[in-house]
Structures are given as structure tokens and as C-alpha cells.
Amino acid sequence: MNNIKQDHASASTEFNKDEAHVDWHDETLWFVRSKRDKAVFQIPEWEQLREAGSQIKNHVLSNMHDYLVEFEKKATENGIKIHWAADGQEHNEIVYSIIKNEGVNRMVKSKSMLTEECHLNEFLKEKGVEVIDSDLGERIVQMRQEPPSHIVLPAIHLKRAEVGETFHQHLGTEKGATDPQYLTEAARQHLRDTFLSRKVALTGVNFAIAETGGFVVCTNEGNADMGVHLADVHIASMGFEKIIPKVEHLGVFLRLLARSATGQPITTFSSHFHKPRAGQKMHIIIVDNGRTKQLGRPDFRNSLKCIRCAACFNTCPVYRRSGGHSYHTAIAGPIGSILAPNLDMARNADLPFASTLCGSCSNVCPVKIDIHEQLYKWRQVLVQEGHVSSVKSLGIKSMSTILSSPSFYRTAGKLGRFLMKNSPFMTNNNLNVWYQHRDMPDVPKESFREWFIREKGGK
């Protein structure tokens, strides 16, 4: 994997240079969180629904092999071709081989975070295949050659004026246009032409149903349907954890997904695919790419329950103020921070530390992933595996020595307070990161312990 340009702390410092923009970003995402609250408080049994979603997913994780085999069998009987990909590279090569087989060099693709994770677009571009993302947000960031900053709202980091400028450059809209109606109409016309002319369409998969071999794709724009209904070939890419046992379980997950994501009762389009229509070919690529490894980590396996609703992004006070790109992974936010170290510990060692462990993420998670507890556990793993700086390591070791010994602790406390009181320049300077934007606490004349001994005679 490539090295990252900036770690989360540096990228966030950069992002925070424009405070008005941070405020706007925070309020926009808080608005989505508030919509989610409104929607879920209308469902008295919401917590039971979360529990059901969690239990179904736990059951799937413990019976993954059987459900995958069942799904493959049923889907194959339905006339769908199943492919298995061990990693992103294999997935990309399978997609390319299907496109090449059709004798085309263009493809339309609806939202699939898996293809972002596998870097499919870059791979196909190198092979001379043009991919057009048909989700509006994804299309915007694609034009700007940026990765999505949010898994449900890929262009949420951009303001209208920035979208207007991008469309002016790429779609020839009027310079300075910011009217959403005008801009979406331009995107609509552009994408309509794409839908009509592409023979191969790729979609993601939200839920794959073992008992039927069918799958469900959820969108708000209908772009997945437009793509595949007009194409001769439908490729659906899925991480293997998308499996659910039965159709009836959709009644749990479809209710959870959109409410958690955007506060809608259900996505505008929940499209059920079972078999290719006459003359059409349908492929499903089932991808591992590190999932087996994660499934084998007892502390982290249940991160695979994730249904990619992004509720944890919207509620995360750190994400809202640092922006998705500061996470330098396809999936940002709290869930991304517990998934990414599994793929590459060295590259993503900063992410589990990009959290205050406030726990709001775990509370909004519709499938009850203990996200903040896994962030804590990843920190322990990353330190044990040597992925923290030696300076930090030395600092913490000294702190541990002091705090493990009552006499060291008392001496250090006394010395610290003495210095703060008599030589404030030692702490009140810019080398002290705390002091850059915060004053130090007032120094009391005695510690609590000293007061206690004086007042109570130490009893």
C-alpha cells in the first residue's frame, strides 16, 4: 500500500484552518444525525430492532461458510455466475476480464464502497477502461479526482459553489451557477447519456440472501437500476459479510439502514435482483480482501456486521470536525478506523487514536458494533506490534513508572506544581501543546492529600 501523505492529526489541523468551513461541515452532518434521531424515535421498538439486526449478523458471522455455499448454489441455479476474489487485485481482474469479454472499454458503476476499497477505478483506468460513477455525489468527487469523504454522502465536504465550479469545468454549465435544480439537471442529462450507452453496469450489494440467491441494492437516486436495466451485463460486487440468511430478515435490515443513514423510513429504491433477464448476463463477485483475517480476530470480528449506514460518521464529533479525507482510507469515520488497521496496520496506526472514545458511535450503530471498545483494543494491538513512535512510548513508560509508585507520584506532583507556580514559562510556552489554545489550571498551594493530612491527621 502507498504511504499516506498526512496522518489524521496533521490532516485535521489543516482542515481546521478554515473554522467557518468546519462549522458548516459539523452542522451539516449534525443535521443528518438529528434526522436520524427523529426517525428512530418514531419506532418504539427501535432498540429491539437493533438487537435483532445484531443477532442475525452475529449468527451469519458464525455460520459464514454454510451461508456462502448456500448462496452460491441458489444464485448459480438462478443463472447468475458467481466469482470468488481473495483480494482487491483479484476482484479488479475479474471485473476487467468480464468487460474485455464483452469487447467494450466503458462501464457505468453505481455506489460500491467495496470498489473504492479495491481501487477499481484506478485499476481500470490503467487498462484503458473508462468508468463513470453514476451516484451524483460520487460523480462529483470523481470529476474532481478526489476520493469520497463519506460512504453515504460522498461529496458532503463540498459546498454548492464548489460543485458549480466542478460542473462548469466538466459539464460546461454556466460559471458561478449554484442553483441545485440547475446543477442536478445538468448531471441528469450527462448521466442519462451514460446510462443509454454503456453495455456493462456494476453495482454494489447491500444484502445477499442465502436462501434465494438474490440480492438487494439500495439507492436514493435509482441510478443502480438505470445502469443495470439498460446494460447487457450486470456485475455486482460484494464483500462476503453482506450475506443474510433469509428474505424475511430484510424486514429488519431495510428498516434499520435508511433510518440510521439519513433518517428516511426506507431508501427510495430497494431493488431486488434474482436472475438475469432474457439476454442479460449477471455476475456476482464475492470478495474477501482481509475479511477472513478480521473474522479470525476475536476482538474485532463483529466489525464485519457493518451495513455501511454511516450513522457513526454523522454522530462522531471528531469526524464532523476533521472531514473524511483526514482518515486516508476508503471508509472513514469510526467504523473505518476499526476496519483499516486490519488491512494495513502500519499505514493506519493513527486511526484508532483519532477518537475520544466518547461512545456515541456504538450507540447509533444499527447492528450494535462496539466500535469505541474496538478502538481501545486496536490501540493496545498497535502498541504491542510496535506501531507507535518511540518518543510516545518513552513518555508513557515514564508516566507509568511515576504513577505506579506512591512516593515517585507525590514527588513528581510536588515538583510539577512547584515549577508551574514559580517558573510558569516552563509550561506556558508553545512547546506545550496544551498551552497553545488553553490556559493551564491554577496551581493550588497543596494537594488534596496534603490538605487531608493537615486537616484530618492522615486518618
Partner 1 sequence: MKVALFIPCYIDQFYPQVGIATLQLLEKLGCEVIFPLNQTCCGQPMANSGFEHLNKDCDNNFVENFKDFDYIVSPSGSCTLHVKEHLHGSDEQASTHIRKHLYELSEFLTDILKVESLSVQFPHRVGLHQSCHGQRGLKLAQMSELVAKPFSKTEHLLNMVDGLSLMELDRKDECCGFGGTFCVTEEAISVKMGKDRISDHTRHTVEYITGTDVSCLMHLEGILKRQGSAIKVKHIAEILNG
Stretch that binds partner 1, among 62-70, 114-122, 190-198, 311-319 (CB under 8 A): 311-319
3-state secondary structure the chain: CCCCCCCHHHHHHHHCCCHHHHHHHHHHHHHHHHHHHHHHCCCCCHHHHHHHHHHHHHHHHHCHHHHHHHHHHHHHHCCCEEEEECCHHHHHHHHHHHHHHCCCCEEEECCCHHHHHCCHHHHHHHCCCEEEECCHHHHHHHHCCCCCCCCCCCCCCCCHHHHHHHHHHHHCCCCCCCCHHHHHHHHHHHHHHHHHHCCEEEECCCEEECCCCEEEEEECCCHHHHHHHCCCEEEEEEEHHHEECCHHHHHHHHHHHHHHHHCCCCCCEEEEECCCCCCCEEEEEEECCCHHHHHCCCCCHHHHHCCCCCHHHHHCHHHHHHCHHHHCCCCCHHHHHHHHHHHCCCCCCCHHHCCCCCCHHHHHCCCCCCHHHHHHHHHHHHHHCCCCCHHHHHHHHHHHHHHHCHHHHHHHHHHHHHHHHHCHHHCCCCCCHHHHCCCCCCCCCCCHHHHHHHHHCCC
Q: Which of 6, 28, 35, 46 binds partner 1 (CB under 8 A)?
A: 46
Most distant CA pair in the chain: distance in Å?
91
Q: Provide, rounded to whole angstroms, the least separation between the CB of residue 444 and partner 1.
A: 5
Q: Which of 20, 181, 433, 457 binds partner 1 (CB under 8 A)?
A: 433
**Based on CB atoms, which residue is closest to partner 1, 177 or 443?**
443
Q: Which of 2, 20, 44, 430 binds partner 1 (CB under 8 A)?
A: 44
Considering the rule CB under 8 A, would residue 359 count as an interface residue with partner 1? yes
Stretch that binds partner 1, among 152-160, 270-278, 285-293, 386-394 (CB under 8 A): 386-394
Q: Which of 24, 31, 182, 376 binds partner 1 (CB under 8 A)?
A: 376
Considering the rule CB under 8 A, would residue 185 count as an interface residue with partner 1? no
Considering the rule CB under 8 A, would residue 5 count as an interface residue with partner 1? no
Q: Which of 103, 128, 279, 458 binds partner 1 (CB under 8 A)?
A: 458
**Based on CB atoms, which residue is closest to partner 1, 22 or 177?**
22
Q: Provide, rounded to whole angstroms, the least separation between the CB of residue 204 and partner 1.
A: 27
Considering the rule CB under 8 A, would residue 446 count as an interface residue with partner 1? yes
Q: Provide, rounded to whole angstroms, the least separation between the CB of residue 153 and partner 1.
A: 19
Considering the rule CB under 8 A, would residue 65 count as an interface residue with partner 1? no
| Range 405-424, binding partner 1 (CB under 8 A) | 405-406, 409, 413, 416-417
Considering the rule CB under 8 A, would residue 279 count as an interface residue with partner 1? no
Considering the rule CB under 8 A, would residue 456 count as an interface residue with partner 1? yes
Q: Which of 4, 43, 230, 247 binds partner 1 (CB under 8 A)?
A: 43
Q: Which of 4, 6, 30, 199 binds partner 1 (CB under 8 A)?
A: 30
Contact 291, 244 (CB under 8 A): no
The residue count for binding partner 1 (CB under 8 A) is 76
Considering the rule CB under 8 A, would residue 438 count as an interface residue with partner 1? yes
Stretch that binds partner 1, among 129-137, 152-160, 200-208, 431-439 (CB under 8 A): 431-439
| Range 202-231, binding partner 1 (CB under 8 A) | none
**Based on CB atoms, which residue is closest to partner 1, 76 or 447?**
447
Q: Which of 4, 22, 230, 345 binds partner 1 (CB under 8 A)?
A: 22
